[in-house]
Structure 1
Amino acid sequence: MKAKVILAVLLVLVLMFVTACGAKEQASKESDSAKLQPIRVANWSKPITEQTNLLVDEKKQFFKDKGLEVTVIPGAGGGDAIKNIVTGQADIAFTDPGSLFFALDKGEKLKVIYNIYPQNVFNIVSRKDKNLIKPQDLKGKTIGVYSLTSGTRQNLLVLLHQAGLAEKDVKIVETGLLNFAPLMQGQVDATAATDTGLVIGKQKGLGEVNVIQVKDYLNVPSDLFVVTEKAYKEKKETLKAFLEAYRSSAQWMIKNPEEAASLASEYAIDGKDEQQNLRIITLRNASSVSPETESKGLGVLDKSVLQKAANTYQKLGLIDSKIDMNEVVSDDILPNIKTEEKK
């Protein structure tokens, strides 16, 4: 009986010790979390494979190492992302130049602080038998776009403008997001899409196609980090830390695409197929670099390209105001040297 009592006491003491250790560990985690600076990123989409580097901080800790606790807020387009920073729901917008120009045209006070994808990822896809190999060939053709407010339509108009054509020279129809069925069925002559959209289309049986790349005619960046002027003035150090961390995460994904493709299966809503993940990540890595990034580091901003794009949007009638990108682009918080990958 005495042995049983001693054993019971020992078990209680062990249980108390384990519980205390657990509570201490939890308190330590909560304390560490409390020390992190929260920062909210308004995304243009739900969490998808091409953004894997932004989604895996739980395991890779690019942002935590800089003292940041990042929350990614999903959206439905670049306009959504900008709306979230303007209304104070987020600190940084992951958005496209078109949505930026539209917001500036409405009088919003914004700053561009990082060039996420300096390469334009939009294209015009057509079946081989249509023999559409240059923008001028699109005259008189029916062209599908995701929607009339999408980047596919905006970039199609930019491409037409560079070729001396206008919207009236083609027939534009909505075909839905990543919907290549109308093209495959001959309902449209061509479809405006993206590089990753084309990967998915081919996987679904699109077959051999001709592809006109928008970047070959005007290489407008695909996505940017944008903040309000207020956030830029009040949160410079936090924003600088974020950009340093993001650059490290992008470098990691460029150097480790297979690992990123594997992690995408855990964190991205479209990441079930690791081989498809790898194809998408490889494309997005390619769009993250340019001759300028080789010498100045990822994220470098080219005001002249953005100015040319803004001017084109005005000429197309997409915006009314003349925008001076010298007043919008700010590169003083961009890391000024390439930082080596630490993970």
Structure 2
Amino acid sequence: MNKWLKTGCACVICAFLLLLLPACKQEESLTKVKVAEVTHSIFYTPLYVAKAKGFFKKEGLLVTVNTTWGGDKTMTSLLSNGSDIALVGSETSIYVEAQGAKDPVINFAQLTQTDGTFLVARKDEKQFKWDDVKGKTFLGQRKGGMPQMAGEYALKKHHIDPQKDIDLIQNIDFANISNAFASGTGDYVQLFEPTASLFEKEGIGHIVASFGEASGRMPYTTFMAKESYLKNNENTAEKFTRAIYKAQQWVESHSAKDIAKTIQKDFTDTDPSIIETSINRYKKQKSFSSDPVLQEDEWEQLQSIMDEAGELPKHIPYSKLVNTKIAKKVTSEQ
């Protein structure tokens, strides 16, 4: 390589490094926030929109999201300071409180307001009736988790006793439920998107009902943090919530197709048409909260469902584990 070529290469490298330097400095100046999500699902679309549209960075935050696969693992991450904020079902904060936590886990921003699962049948049942599940094998979710409790609540509303009228299987790990059904286990299964739509497209199963529609509104998935974190990092929590609210409003006002394109990078292994179909299902049944304020009637509905399932350790007042101060502040700004 002659000296002119060497000099040219060195100049190109230097120029590239100079371009990277401002970006590195900018990233270093951002406040880091670690989020643990209970699963990675299109159900959490507004979170991924906040990342993709740069809403977090506009608030001066560098948000990293780690999937922890299960409510117990997510709460362990939060309580052990492995994460700053958890995205998980509100029931987990009640379980922690019932165990006498010295540093309570506080729900401060709501993301979803209905159950996000669908009833998938192995056969294509054009005229499905809830009574059709009686006497059949039902592949449910983890006992004590919100999907399972909401599922049981919906079944009981339709006069089906989950313990007597169906063969209920709920000892399969959350991450393996879809694989178990695909392998031939069960006549019905309770699935989140995009798996439900994917199974339908591939002919593995057919969506016949929505547990979200059947069980009503509740604080199904919320952002929560330890009380001490919110006290010591109130400004950060406010910026985080403002970014989420911007994303919620953006999702509310855009089409499923536009939203699907925006979050595609978070679901690179999923067909774009499946992402769009999944988002459309959730938008139609208003699963995505349009703002982060968790309402008291939703909190009480949650505990009613837990009580009905025999999983409510004790009734926890709304004021004890819900803090709407930040959410109300950011929603009043617009």
TM-score by length of 1: 0.78
Q: 1:249 is aligned with what amino acid?
A: A
Residue in structure 2 matched with residue 3 of structure 1 by the alignment: none
Q: CA 1:104/1:25 → structure 2, altered by over 3 Å: closer, same or farther?
A: same
CA deviation after TM superposition for structure 1 residue 303, in Å: 1.6
Task: Map 1:89-238; keep pairs closer than 5 Å.
Answer: 89-108=82-101, 109-126=104-121, 127=123, 133-134=129-130, 140-148=135-143, 150-162=145-157, 166-170=161-165, 171-174=167-170, 176-179=176-179, 181=181, 188-194=186-192, 196-206=194-204, 210-211=208-209, 213-238=211-236
Q: Where do 5+ consecutive residues of structure 2 fail to align? A: none
Q: Identity rate of aligned residues, in percent?
A: 17
Q: Which residue of 2 aligns with 1:4?
A: none
Q: 1:251 offset after TM fit, Å?
A: 3.3
Q: After superposition, where does 1:1-343 map in structure 2 within 5 Å?
A: 12=7, 18-46=12-40, 48-51=41-44, 53-55=46-48, 60-108=53-101, 109-126=104-121, 127=123, 133-134=129-130, 140-148=135-143, 150-162=145-157, 166-170=161-165, 171-174=167-170, 176-179=176-179, 181=181, 188-194=186-192, 196-206=194-204, 210-211=208-209, 213-254=211-252, 255=254, 257-268=256-267, 270-271=269-270, 273-286=271-284, 297-334=290-327, 335-337=330-332, 339=334
Q: Gaps (5+ residues) in structure 1? A: 1-6
Once residues 57 and 24 of structure 1 are traced to their aligned partners in structure 2, the CA distance between those partners, rounded to angstroms, is 29
Highest CA radius of gyration, 1 or 2?
1
Q: What per-residue deviation string (whole Å, max 9, x for no partner) do you get for residues 210-249 of structure 1?
A: 4253533443343111111111111111111111112223
**Other structure's SS at 1:227 match:** strand
**Count of aligned pairs:** 322
- Contact 2:139/2:177 (8 A) holds in 1: no
State the shift of 1:332 in Å: 0.8
Shift of residue 338, structure 1, vs aligned partner: 7.4
Q: Per-residue displacement from partner, 1:47-103 (whole Å, max 9, x unpaired)?
A: x44545534677531111110001111111233222211111111111013333333
Q: In the TM superposition, what is the alpha-carbon distance from 1:204 to its structure 2 partner?
A: 2.1
Residue 274 of structure 1 deviates from its aligned partner by 1.1
Amino acid at match of 1:36: L
Cα distance change on mapping 1:270 and 1:77 into 2, 3 Å = farther
Residue 99 of structure 1 aligns with an amino acid whose one-letter code is: T
Equivalent position amino acid for 2:65 in 1: V
2:178 match: secondary structure: coil
Task: Say if 1:10 and 1:58 are closer, same or farther in 2 by CA, change over 3 A.
Answer: farther
Distance 1:227 1:145 in 2: 28
Aligned counterparts of 1:332 and 1:18: Cα–Cα separation in 2: 51
Q: Per the alignment, do residues 219 and 180 of structure 1 end up closer, same or farther by CA in structure 2, a change over 3 Å counting?
A: farther
Task: List per-residue Cα deviations over 1:92-139 (Å, max 9, x = no partner).
Answer: 1110133333333323411111121112223434456697624x6655
1:154-197: CA deviation from partner (whole Å, max 9, x where unpaired) = 22222244456654323311474225847x96x64533334544
